[in-house]
Structure 1
Amino acid sequence: MMDESTTERTETNGKMELPSEPKSASKCLGGEGGDIALNSPHLNNQRETGLKILTQDFKRRLSFRKDTLKSVKEDSIRVKMDKIKNETREANVNTECLQTELPAKCKEDEEKKCFQEDSPPMDNQDDNEPQALRRGLKIIPSFRNGTSFKVKSAEGIGFTRSNSKRFSMGLFKRKEDGDQASKENKSIPEEDKPFGREGVQNEPLSVMQINDLIQKRQLLEAFKHIRDLEGELLAEREAKKYEEHPKEYTVRAKDVDLLYESLSKEIQHIVEDTLDLSSMDAKALIEMMVALIEEEEKVHGGAAAITVPSEPVTKLGLARNWREHWKKTVNESVNKRILKVHIPLKDDATWLLTHLGFLKNAVRQDLLTIKDSIHKFYPDNYRVCDTYLKAFHEALSLHLQGILQGGNSFESHEFHAILDWVTNVYHSEGLLGHPDLQPEIKTEDLPSLLTPEVLDKLEKDYIHSVKLKTKSCLENIQILEAKEKWDSEEQPEALQSQYHSSLSFDIQTIVGEHMKASGKICKNLETAVLEMSVKEVTRFIPCFGKAFLEQDKEKNYPQFASLMVTYVNNFYDLRMEFRTRFNVNCEELEKTLNDLIVRYRKYFLNKLMLKTQLIFKKILSQAWIINSRTLDSFIMKILLVIEDFSQHLKHLKEPIFKEFLNEVHKFVVKEYITQVLKTKSRMKRTKRELVSRIMTQEATTINDTMMHLGSNAEWLFPAIPDIASIISEKEKGKIKYYLERLAWNYPDIREEHMMAILTLRGLKQTKRQSVARHVNRPSVELEFTSGRTLFADIEFPNTIWCFESFCR
């Protein structure tokens, strides 16, 4: 046997070198523990024959790699049997065969070269064949396990795969020293092992093979092989292998990045699928995904916060932040689920309300699934319920904002539907507040579903839409009133002896519905809607009143009085009930309604004046004097017209009824006095006394008639008798007394009125002025605070006829 020093191997520049011994089969084969000399020609021939048989057997086995597992099992059983038979025959052979591994892609000519020997063939080849087969079977498992190898030829030349870390050199001892080699291998420090490998290095799969693993959702296995490829590429980059071929490096880096992207997409698919799968299937996928994420975090511990570059070349070796990718995927998948909720056709008036109902049911069901069947498969640190709740919250916010962006044509009920959903439905028991979601679904820290700016704009849009709807409804009311009542000769309905229509009720109903709807959302919105509604009603009422009067001027409706009474009753109801029912500041509306009632009353009196004007002009005429003692007197004609035209006033509500009758009473007295003061006829003393008596009698008739109709303006009665007394009074001192009494009863009387009365009495101009100037009159304040005006509305020409020639 040869000395160990003569067979010791040396290492130069990372390559194994052999000693300068004769390059023949008779030289020793060195193991890690030392060399064994094989000088026997018989053994050399036996080894040569065995290697040839081994080569032929191995070439045959390479052609059947697809059936490797089956063939290896069968061959192993056969070889074990042969081994038992030949153990005694081979007992004197104390050698160690070098176990080798050929790469899968080794060419046929390389195999021949690796096992070529210079010795002549052995004569006893048949006897040694079982031993050669046994050695071949030792090689096959090591090849399948990816064991690195080095073969020493007859010339002592070593063949290695030096360009890739997937192949590493190693020599193995004979079988009895195998356990010791395994222990030594385990003792290698972790940092000295190749990237992404543990213990013995496996040959990485191809890109397509790894992609097949991903498609089969063998994610952990695929991840390990991707790490192997990544580690190999990084090592080659460190060795500056690609300095002359940078494009090749870029292509390989892109391949690795694409594989990582495929894993990322599988994470995305798992997240998207789990909400629709059974609990058992979801559990398997989630646990596999979580294991993958945690494995990636384990490899890149502490690097999860690092931003991953966008270029594949710069991504190598960096953390992929798959937990963040998971969160992002949760958000994206939730957003997709929200967008899949059915939206009915917008031709349906209730499309938005229906869609929001579908949205509520879909979100609630998904949250229940997450709470009951999903979150328990995740580790606690994933905070699954909170993550999904936040994702749904953000997705719903974006979805609603998207709906509002197309809301230019929305009506008030559509804006209201969104507002109600955001403020009431979202946190109700029908959705986030559902009892089955508690306590995992926590909504305390959720922000508003819509930002304050968006919510403020939504409320303004809603108020504006309510304004347009209110305006439209009020205009429709006016159109219906004109069509059904103004152009009809039917009298209005009487409710409890009062003319009644739905005008006030319809207006209050419109305002009440908007107030109720907005009040369900919030108190501030209710107040804003109510104030807006009051303004719209305040704008509408004068327009409505004006339209009715203008139509009457044009068509002279025969039922004008009854319609006027009906509308005045409605105006009064609005004035009284708006404040009490809606508890809102209605000062402007009340003033508008009061002004409209006064306007209607004046219009009524104006029509009354047109009917009686010609008769009033007969007062103090000769015909008036002649007919004063008959039932056909002019005053009776006037009162009959007034009574007939005013009969509908009895259907007015109190106190409007009294106000109207008092004004009619005042109208009669005022028109009577106006005709008296405008008289141009000259009267002798006897005629003045007759006129005085007739005026006193007619004053009583007027007062009695108007009291019978319902007036309570008794303060009007003394006016005509006092003027009559002045006309017939002989004593000038009493004339002054009657004037003062008239002035105190009617503070609005002016000096020109007194001058006209004194002129009718027949006093000279100087005397009239003297008397008028010395009359004791009330203060100006009393004139404006009494609330009684009679003479202020009496106008007559500036020229006052003087009857000085008749004065005595």
Structure 2
Amino acid sequence: MSLARTVTSGPEPHSPEEPAKLQTPPVRGTWRASSEGAASTHREDTRPGLGTLRRAFSRTSQRPSGQVPEEDLGLFQRGSHFLFRSLRRAKDNGSTADQSHATEVPGVTHGPEVPSRVMDGRSRQSSAGVGRKELEPEAGKSVADLITERHLLAAFQQLRQLEVRLVAEKASHTFEKDPTGFARRAMDLCLHYDGLAAEIGAIVRETLGPDGVDAAALGELGRVVRAEEEAHPAPPADGDFLLTPRRWRQHWEDAVRRSAQERVQQAGAGEAPGAAEAEAEGASGLARLLAELGGLVRSDLHKVRQEVQPAYSAAGFPAWEAYLRAFHGAVAQRLQELAQDARGCEQLYVLLDWAANVYGSPDFLGAPDLTLSTEPLPPLLAPALWARLQNDYTSFLEAKITSCFDSILQLEQSRWADAKPPDVLQGLYHTPLSIDVHMLVAEHVKAAGAISAELEATTLRICTRALGLFLPRFEKAFLESKAVNEPYLGANINAYEELRTSLLARFPGTFEELEKPLAAATYTFQKRLLQGLQCDVQPLFRVLCTKAWLTQDVLQPLMDKVVAFARHLEHVAPLRAQETLQEVHRYVVREYLAQVLRPRERFRGEERMTSSQKMGLDAQAIGDTFQGLGSEATWLDQAIPCVADILGETYKEDIRRHLETLIGSYPDIRRDHVRAILALRRLGHRRNQRLLQHARDLLRAAAKAAGSGAAGGHVLFEEIEVPTSVDVLLTCI
């Protein structure tokens, strides 16, 4: 306040040749009508040049452009800082007589309204009169009017003329005795330049607005920016702030960025749900917001390419590239904000999918000549943020997949509880287990693969780990349920077989570690199938090798149960059905031989010959039955006939040949089995010893063949236990 009183306390010295001062430019919405009432009337009376400025203010206030952002105020501040440094140089160059004026000048840097305070008094009245003549040439319009009417190039040309004149007068030391006059004129020049720059920002803000594109204004903008760059190509060597480049191109790019940010922030602005509602909407609300965002960006960039770019092209302005970078940065900033609030697996995936597949798609802009990849753009999401989102997504995904497997198990348990038999699909017992698992894995792997190969590999590992934990849980729960029967066992065998083959084929190199658990579980279900059959037929084996057996067909009921069991195998996967059928075939032959080697009754003479013939007939019946069922275990067909031949052979020397056939066909036979067979035949001591010695030699040769891998891996006699009876002991003696 003391500075103001000092300035107005007396007349200011000034040169009669001092050029006119510029009128304060109309900066939209930033200067308030603070000089109302008597004060404003006094200023209008004492400074005629402000009349034009007030008219410009009146026209500007009628425009619906709102207030100038804080960024535009920096233009005025920068102009003031430049002026302050110049005044300090003027102070160093001024005479001692002008010290009082030089010390008053720093007050000018306090703000945009300071020049009107500095220009109080008689010196302002005299300079204002001259300024009107210079600001209203033959066209009759001031620089402020030209800026307001957006004749930007004409306004710049006038400012440039005044700038050149002011620089020339400064160089000629015209202001050595009047630094305050230089300060006024320099400040007014800077304010008008800043006002012109503010108008550039206003034009950019209105470009994408609802009123459409003003092509003439955009062309004028491009020309004035280029004119300024030609007028101020580089900073002057002496550091004169008046000739310093105004960097309007950079200011234009900043305005484009702010405009893009404002437009992007409009997406979803109409929806402001509460926290509970937003949580309930979840991924669907985020998907709608991103769809609206994509539509807005697409529409604005179409407008830029079709209307804005042609208007700038005459001035050689790269409008498309600037707007593309601006919208890219604005979208990136908006996604970062959304990422902070993303919760749950679905929302994170929607965000990642939109960034990778929607925005990152070459067809995002919907036109073949428009693409986001015309030049290298930075990643939409920073690598660290992208990695964090993927990690968060995989954490939620792991819990979700585990929950999905829990739901699959619950559905299966509900089916078991209903006691409803499984469906038959394409001739096989069917359970939805395999389809549910396949869909669960394929869905999440495909979704992850659409985002990145790394996320796909991570999802595969999560699915593999979760499935590995699910399989033993499912097996345990099923075997403990009341649904353990042939149809459900067959259905589960089919499901596990589909999982083993299909998953390995579809995702090679990933599910190999589950092959063994799946095969082990399948074997468990097959073994449970056999146990059910064994419980049914085991009592029927007890009537074999009895007196009744010699005269009755006691084998037929047993084979009927085998045939009934085999009907279930027709609805099991062929490979597993064949394995199970062969195991049933081996079981029947093994149990039959076990009854023969552990007879409940001993046969002599004619009964022994009859039993040998009966065994031959039973062997034929067993072989024909299993051959009819499709068993491929033909290696079992010789076991019963060989034993029957030994028992019924009348020429004792041929028993040696029958032993060779038996041991050669079944190398797993032991000496105990040979003794038990010879005990049934009741040969003499010496003959038994010779046959046992020959059998020992054959077994040694068979053992060597088995050690070298020449023999097959069939097992039959090894699982038959032979008790040590008195007859066997006598045979050994």
Coarse TM-score class (shorter-chain normalised)? 0.5 to 0.7
Contact kept, 8 Å, 1:748 with 1:783, in 2: the verdict is no
1:459 deviates by 5.6
**Cα 1:649–1:202 shift into 2, 3 Å:** closer
Report the counterpart of residue 318 of structure 2 in structure 1: 383
Query: Which residue does the alignment assign to 2:436?
Result: 506
- Which string of whole-angstrom CA distances, capped at 9 and with x for unpartnered residues, describes residues 601-655 of structure 1? 11211222233334434544xxx33244224x3x344334434444322222434
Counterpart residue type for residue 337 of structure 1: R
Aligned positions, number: 597
Asked if structure 1 preserves the Cα contact closer than 8 Å seen for 2:201 and 2:252, the reply is yes
Report the alpha carbon displacement of residue 341 of structure 1 after superposing the two structures with TM. 1.1
Give the equivalent residue in structure 2 for 1:254: 110
Q: Give the CA deviation at 1:713.
A: 2.6
CA contact (8 A) 2:352 2:451 kept: no
Match of 2:321, as an amino acid?
A: D
- Measure, in 2, the Cα distance between the counterparts of 1:523 and 1:340: 34
Q: Which residue of 1 aligns with 2:15?
A: 168
Output the amino acid matched with 2:547: I
Structure-2 separation of matches of 1:796 and 1:406: 75
Is the 2:213–2:308 contact (alpha carbons within 8 Å) kept by the matching residues of 1?
Answer: no
**1:230–1:256 contact (8 Å) kept in structure 2:** no
- What corresponds to 2:291 in structure 1? 357
**Counterpart contact for 2:236–2:244, Cα < 8 Å:** no
Q: How does 1:478-489 map to 2 (within 5 A)?
A: 478-484=409-415, 486-489=416-419
**8 Å Cα contact 2:672-2:722 kept in structure 1:** no
Kindly provide the amino acid, as one letter, of the partner of residue 598 in structure 1: Y
Secondary structure in structure 2 of the residue aligned to 1:481: helix
Q: Secondary structure at the match of 1:202?
A: coil
Q: 1:775 aligns with which of 698, 702, 710?
A: 698
Aligned to 1:400: 335
Change beyond 3 A, Cα 1:742–1:542: farther
Structure 2 portions without partners, runs of 5+:
1-6, 26-30, 36-49, 62-67, 115-186, 272-277
Residue 692 of structure 1 deviates from its aligned partner by 3.5
Do residues 303 (structure 1) and 230 (structure 2) align?
Answer: no
2:492 aligned with 1:572: no
Question: For residue 327 of structure 1, what is the aligned residue in structure 2?
Answer: 253
Where does residue 673 of structure 2 map in the other structure?
753
Q: Which amino acid aligns with 1:168?
A: S
| Higher mean C-alpha deviation, range 235-244 or range 563-572 | 235-244
Q: Given that residues 204 and 228 in structure 1 are in contact (C-alpha distance below 8 angstroms), is that contact kept between their aligned partners in structure 2? A: no
Query: What's the CA shift for 1:342?
Result: 0.9
Q: What amino acid is the match of 2:433?
A: L
How far does the alpha carbon of each residue in 1:486-529 deviate from its partner, in whole angstroms, 9 at most, with x for none?
12333222334432333333333344444554565567766775
Equivalent residues of 2:76, 2:112 under 8 A apart: no
**Match in the other structure for 1:604:** 529
CA distance in 2: counterparts of 1:403 and 1:393, whole angstroms: 15
1:375: Cα distance to partner? 3.8
Q: Separation in 1 of the partners of 2:457 and 2:315? A: 47
Q: Structure 1 pair 748/424, CA: closer, same or farther in 2 (3 Å)?
A: farther
The residue identity in structure 2 corresponding to 1:495 is L
Of residues 539, 548, 562 in structure 2, which corresponds to 1:626? 548
Offset from partner CA, 1:10-56 (integer Å, 9 cap, x none) = xxxxxxxxxxxxxxxxxxxxxxxxxxxxxxxxxxxxxxxxxxxxxxx
Cα 1:697–1:288 shift into 2, 3 Å: closer
Match of 1:725 among 645, 652, 667: 645
Shift of 1:403: 3.1
CA contact (8 A) 1:428 1:434 kept: no
Q: Determine if contact 1:242/1:248 at 8 Å carries over to the other structure.
A: no
Hey, what does 1:4 align to over in structure 2?
none
- Higher RCO (CA < 8 A, seq sep 6+): 2
Q: Secondary structure at the match of 2:529?
A: helix
**Is the 8 Å Cα contact of residues 673 and 722 (structure 2) preserved in structure 1?**
no
Quick one: which amino acid aligns to residue 567 of structure 1?
A: N
Q: Check 1:593–1:688 CA distance in 2 against 1; reply closer, same or farther (3 A cut).
A: same
1:673-700, Cα deviation, whole Å (9 max, x unpaired) = 2344455876656665454344333333
Residue identity in the other structure for 2:334: H
Say if 1:805 and 1:796 are closer, same or farther in 2 by CA, change over 3 A: closer
Q: Is the 8 A contact 1:415 1:462 kept in 2?
A: yes
What's the secondary structure of 2:574's corresponding residue? coil
Maintained 8 Å contact 1:719/1:742 = yes
Equivalences for 1:380-779 in 2 at 5 Å? 380=315, 382-407=317-342, 409-411=344-346, 414-415=348-349, 418-419=352-353, 421-431=355-365, 434-435=367-368, 437=370, 443-451=374-382, 454-455=385-386, 469-484=400-415, 486-514=416-444, 516-517=446-447, 520=450, 533=463, 537=467, 540-551=470-481, 555=482, 557=483, 560-578=485-503, 587-620=512-545, 624-631=546-553, 633=554, 635-678=555-598, 688-729=608-649, 733-762=653-682, 769-775=692-698, 777-778=701-702, 779=705
Q: Structure 2: which amino acid aligns with 1:271?
A: V
Superposition deviation, residue 548 in structure 1: 1.9
Mapped partners of 1:230, 1:336: distance in 2: 33
Aligned residue identity for 1:386 = E
Distance 2:24 2:198 in 1: 20
Contact in 1 for aligned 2:597/2:677 (Cα 8 Å): yes
Distance 2:471 2:663 in 1: 40
Which AA in structure 2 matches 1:597? T
- CA distance in 2 between counterparts of 1:670 and 1:284 reads 101
**In 2: Cα distance, 1:305 partner to 1:742 partner:** 113
Q: Distance in 1 between matches of 2:417 and 2:82?
A: 93
Corresponding residue number in structure 1 for 2:307: 373
Letter of the 1:770 counterpart: Q
Matches for 1:136-215 after TM superposition, within 5 Å: 161-162=12-13, 167-169=14-16, 200-202=19-21
The question of 1:274 aligning with 2:130 is answered: no
The corresponding residue for 2:718 is: 792
- Judged with a 3 Å threshold, the aligned counterparts in structure 2 of structure 1 residues 242 and 692 are, in CA distance, closer, same or farther, namely farther
Given that 2:428 and 2:572 are in contact with CA atoms closer than 8 Å, whether structure 1 keeps it comes out as yes
Measure how far apart 1:389 and its partner are: 0.8
CA 1:217–1:774 in 2, change beyond 3 Å: closer, same or farther?
same
Contact 1:204 1:229 in 2 (8 A): no
Q: Conserved in 2, the CA contact under 8 Å of 1:565 and 1:648?
A: yes
Amino acid at match of 1:410: C
After TM superposition, give the deviation of residue 251 of structure 1 in Å: 4.4
Q: 1:397 to 1:280 in 2, by over 3 A?
A: closer
Q: Could you say if the C-alpha distance between residues 683 and 216 of structure 1 is closer, same or farther in structure 2, counting changes exceeding 3 Å? A: same
Q: 1:490 is aligned with what amino acid?
A: K
Give the 5 Å matches for 1:90-169.
161-162=12-13, 167-169=14-16
Q: Does structure 2 retain, via aligned residues, the 8 Å contact 1:242–1:249?
A: no
Distance in 2 between the 1:304 and 1:609 partners? Answer: 105
1:276 maps to amino acid? G
Deviations 1:769-797 (A, max 9, x none): 52431326441158676243222333456
Name the CA distance, whole Å, in 2 between partners of 1:531 and 1:594: 20
Conserved in 1, the CA contact under 8 Å of 2:431 and 2:491?
yes
Q: What root-mean-square deviation, in Å, do the aligned CA atoms of Structure 1 and Structure 2 show?
A: 4.9
Hey, what's the Cα distance between the residues in 2 that align with 1:575 and 1:597?
10
Counterpart Cα distance in 1 of 2:98 and 2:477:
93
Q: Is the Cα contact below 8 Å between 1:270 and 1:285 reproduced in 2?
A: yes
2:261 is aligned with 1:339: no
**Structure showing greater Rg:** 1
Query: Aligned with 2:268: secondary structure?
Result: coil
Q: Which runs of 5+ in 1 are unaligned?
A: 1-104, 111-159, 171-198, 309-313
Sequence identity, in percent?
30
